[in-house]
Each structure stands twice: as structure tokens, then as C-alpha cells.
Chain A
Amino acid sequence: MSATGYDATAVTLKTAAYGVVAFLVLANLIPLLFILSVSFMPPSEFFTDPHLVPYEPTLEAWSTGFEDLRENLLNSFLIGAGTALLALTITIPGAYAFARKEFYGKTAGFYAIISAMMFPYILLVIPIMDLWTALGLYNTVFGMILAYQVFVTPFSIWILRDFFENLPTDIEEAAQVYGCTQFTAFLRVILPLAAPGIVAVGFLAFLTGWNDFLFANLLTTGTGPVPAVPVLYGTIGGGSGERVYWGKLMAETLIIGIPPTIIYLAARSHLESAFNV
């Protein structure tokens, strides 16, 4: 193969790569841009020809959207934060043990936990509904925080174990030489070093609590602590016969969708290193 031939292929490849990237970026951004613009349109503008820039932009959809969702957003926040805190409390010790200790049944135990990630969660929601009703946890914030652990813990163990594993091995021994106990060495040396992983897991757990629809819808009733996501459900498919105010609905989707996006982007570098399979 001649050198020029190789260069030509290289150029074609580069062009193709840029083409794919450009296409996918646009395919991702344009729909979202459109939604952003619709959320600023007054109702009358939906029924004219489609256009990207609103003729008479208004903030009405956003302000009524916020007004309507205020309580639900607070519920979502409490559920997300609670899920994250509980998940970290449970999984940090476990992940640490799987990364740094040798014990009988370690591999089997690890895969028992990781494979839980593959469990079709929808199978759990029905018996959990039943169980939660019996225990008085149905329709409570705590009931949801507890239920989300089943999504979150396997993931957290997977990610955190890697973080603990990659820390230098002699670091705790060194701390112990300087008078730390095993526990204080863990608390003062290991935890701060694993902070990026802990933050990443905390974010992922929060997002699970914030983003989920299935448990949120099935474990609450209309009068309970309903998080924000289920509020959107049925506005369209419900077929109540009322005309949907799309502008407001789209403002609401953005109000609910933007916080997790910001969090995700902020935590991205940590998350990406965590996903290195």
C-alpha cells in the first residue's frame, strides 16, 4: 500500500468521524433546543406553523410550572438526597471490604451483589407494594428511599470497590504506624482519598431517586409525597379530553430534567473513570 493511499483513507476516516459526531450532537441538541423554545411560547403559537424562535416569548409556562411542581420537586429532592445518604452508609463499608480484605466467599459475595444489577426491577415493585402496605411504608418518603436501595447498592459497590482498590496498599499501614487505629486510618486517610468515587456514587444515587418513575408512581398515591416525575405521566396519554397546554408541560419537563443534567455534567469525569470495564 502506498503512503498516499493510506493518507487518503485516513482523511476519509477523519471526515467520517467528524460527520458522525456532528450528526449525533445535532440529533441530541436540536430536539432539546426546540423544547426550550416551546416552553417560552404562548399557547396560541403552538397551532401556527412550526418555528424555532418564539414570536412573543413569555415566562408564563415557567412560572406556573414552578408553582404547580413546587411540592413535588421538594419531595424529589428529599427522596434523592435520602437515597444517596443511605446508599453511601450501606455500601462504603462493603465496597471497602471487597477491595481491601481477603475473606472466604469474597468472589461469590461480590458477584451475588453485582448480579443484582441485572435483576429486572419491575419484578420487585409488586411484592414491595404489598410488603410496604403491610409495614406502613407505602406512600412515605422513607419507603421510597428504602426501595431505591435495590437499584443503587449494586452499582455503588461496583464503582466504589474500584476506587478503593486503586489506592496504594501500604497507605493504611503507614497511618497505623503513626498511631491510627484501623478505623481512624480508614476515616482519616482512605475516605478522603476515595472522595471522588464517593461523590460519583452519591450523585448516581441521587439521580436514581430523582429520575425514577416506576417506584415513584407505584409506591405513592395522589395524596402522598408524590415526586415530580410521575406528575408528568398521563398528562398526554391519560386522554382526559382536556387540551394539553404543551408550553407548560414542556417547561415542566425542563424544570424536572435540568437539575439531574447539571449534576451529571458536574460529576462526569468521575463517572467516566468509574465505568471503565
Chain B
Amino acid sequence: MSTRDLFDVGGRTERYRTVLSENWFAYLLIMPVLLFLVVLMWLPFMQGIYMSFNEWPFGGDPTWVGLANYEFLLNWEPFYTSLKATVIFSLTTLFQLVVALAAALAVRELRRGKSFVSAAFLLSYTMPPLVIGTIWAYLLEPDFGPVFGYLTQWNVLEETIYWGSSGSMSLAVVIFVTTWTFWPFMFLIISASLESIPEELYESARMYGANPLQTFLRVTLPQLKSAILVALSIRIIWNMTKISQVLQLTNGGPGYDTSILAVLLYQFAYERGQMGVSYAIGIVLLLMTLGFVFVFIREFERASEGAGA
């Protein structure tokens, strides 16, 4: 602020007044969204934190138990099975990225039929995740589902696989179906960003005699960096908190082998009615994902600035 401003008191109050009256209208416009987010997000979230320090039966009265819910979790064997499943399950995000990136780059090369192809890609993403979960539960049914039916018929497998009774196989199935369902979202973001890379960059790369790999590493990838990080961080958090497919495919089993934290949280709330423990699990999940929120915001901001300039 310059010294002229400091001494120009009358002008300043006048300016503040106009700014304030203009701002007043803007604040009024954003008020509804802020209000909704405070009431629907922050208040329940705060209440949830309080909940996690209580023994809280569904619809009942809370009893303060301090850290007992957390203590229970840390001493409970399946909690660690669940943590491990959660970490392995998060790999689905990387698989989604690989498929989405390959798809986006490939579609870019097409001359015709782009619209049809990306429409076909999106089909799996548009249907409700639980519907897709139900569909794959049938397709992968060991006894009469077509996947194992064909595999045994064509002698690829000698006999069907009862993946539901093996923890690692169940987890693999869950990761496969989740990847199949959700990669198109990343594809959307990445291919939109790919379209907006200026053609001049490719021309100059060609002029300097760069080969396709060099062009990809030096031009495409750096330009896609923000989109990739935004997509990756959104998807990690969303994958970690989507439960419908896991519930439909394995119901968290066998044992707790596919009970990722979100499923565990759901089971404690819905099947056992222990809201306090359930929220304590939620806090652990939140802590695990927190870093990605910062990555997301930083990259989002960077991308928006780039677009504005």
C-alpha cells in the first residue's frame, strides 16, 4: 500500500464503503453454498469427531468413553487386516491411471469415430457403481458365471476358481472391478487436458527431431502433470470411500480380507450400530487421505492460474 493511500483517509473510507456494498451483494450470492456446506459438512463432521469419543448406539444416548474406541481398534486384529487391504486396494487408482492414460493417448490418434469410442468408454462409469458390482458378481460367479464358464470351456483353466473363499483372490477381483468401473473418469480429465495442449509445442518438438518417446516425456507428460495429479488425488479419495462394489462382490470377506476401512466403517455403523467406533475408523481413513487433498488443491490452483494467464 502506498503512502498516498495512508493519508487519503476520506478517499479510503469512501472506497471501503463502495467495496463493502459491492461485496455485500457477492457475499449474499455465495451465502447459500457456504451455509449448506457448513450445515451438511462441517457440523456433522464436528459431531462425528465428538461421536468417536463416545459409546454411541444408533439413535441412542452417548456415553463418554474418551479414547476407548481408538484403543479398541488398535488392539483389534482385524483392524490391521483392514488397513492392509486398504493400502493394497489403493493400487486400483494407479491401474485406473495407466488405463486412462493409454486410452486418452490412443483416442487422440484416431481420425474418425472418436465420439463413438469415448461414449463406449464411458458406459461403465455412467451406471450406478452398485449396478456394475451386481453385474460383475454374476459374470464372475464361479459355478455358472460366463467368465469362468468360458475359461474352463476353452481349457484356459482346468476348473473354476472359488475366489470368494480366498482373501487375495477376492481382493484381486475387487481391484479389477473397481478399475474397470472408474477409469473413465480419469480418462475424461486427462483427455480434456490433452486436447488443450498447444499444437505448436508438438511442431517445435518435431523440428528438433524428437522421437515419439521424447515428445511424450518432454511435451505431453509435463503438460498433463496437473490434470494427472488432480485426477489421481480425486480418485484416491473417492476409491477409498466407495463401498458399494466391495459390499456387493465380497461383503468384506472372506473374514476381513476385503474389508477396506470404508467397509469396516459401514459394518460398524449399519450392522453393529456402534457409531462411535465407526467414526473412529473414519478418522483413521481421513488421516490416511489428507495429504492428497493438499496435492489436489495445489495442482488445481496451478492449473487454473495457467488457464487464466
Contact = CB atoms under 8 A, between A and B. Distances in A.
B134 to A, nearest CB: 5
B122 A93 contact: no
B89 interface: no
Interface string B25-55: 1111111111011001101110110010000
A211 B129 contact: yes
Question: For this complex, into which size category does the number of interface residues on chain A fall?
Answer: 35 or more
A34 B100 CA distance: 24
A117 B240 CA distance: 14
A257 B286 contact: no
Contacts of A116: 37, 41
A50 B241 CA distance: 35
A10 B202 CA distance: 14
30 contacts: A13-B109, A13-B212, A17-B105, A31-B139, A32-B123, A90-B32, A94-B34, A97-B26, A97-B29, A103-B26, A114-B300, A118-B234, A123-B48, A126-B269, A128-B44, A129-B275, A130-B51, A131-B44, A153-B37, A211-B128, A217-B270, A237-B137, A237-B250, A253-B135, A257-B132, A258-B127, A268-B122, A272-B191, A272-B192, A275-B192
A119 B233 CA distance: 11
Interface of B: 19, 22-23, 25-34, 36-37, 40-41, 43-45, 47-48, 51, 56, 58-59, 99, 102-103, 105-110, 117-132, 134-139, 141, 144, 146, 149-150, 153, 180, 188-189, 191-193, 195-196, 209, 211-212, 226-227, 230-231, 233-234, 237, 240-241, 243-244, 247-251, 262, 265-266, 269-270, 275, 278-279, 282, 285-286, 289, 292-293, 296-297, 300-301, 303, 307
Contacts of B269: 125-126, 129, 218
Given A25-B117, A50-B153, A126-B282, A232 B30 contact: no
B189 A126 contact: no
A77 B194 CA distance: 35
A98 interface: yes
B58 to A, nearest CB: 7
Nearest to B266: A122
B131 A253 contact: yes
A265 B126 CA distance: 9
A210 interface: yes
A91 B278 contact: no
A72 B283 CA distance: 33
Contact of A90 (B36, B231, B248, B266): B36
* Dominant secondary structure at the B interface: helix
> Which 3 pairs show the lowest CB-CB distances between chains A and B?
A257-B127, A97-B29, A50-B149
A21 B103 contact: yes
A17 B110 contact: yes
A153 B31 CA distance: 13
B106 A147 contact: no
Contact of B135 (A109, A250, A272): A250
Nearest to B141: A246
Main SS of chain A's interface residues?
helix
A128 B48 CA distance: 9
Contact of B33 (A49, A126, A131, A157): A157
B300 to A, nearest CB: 7
A147 B26 contact: no
Interface string A71-112: 000000000000000000111011011100111101001011
Given A123-B45, A249-B134, A233 B248 contact: yes
Nearest to A158: B300
Given A124-B45, A213-B244, A277 B138 contact: no
Contacts of A133: 59
A50 B23 contact: no
B25 A101 contact: yes
A35 interface: yes
B282 A277 contact: no
A256 interface: yes
A111 B240 CA distance: 22
A13 B215 CA distance: 13
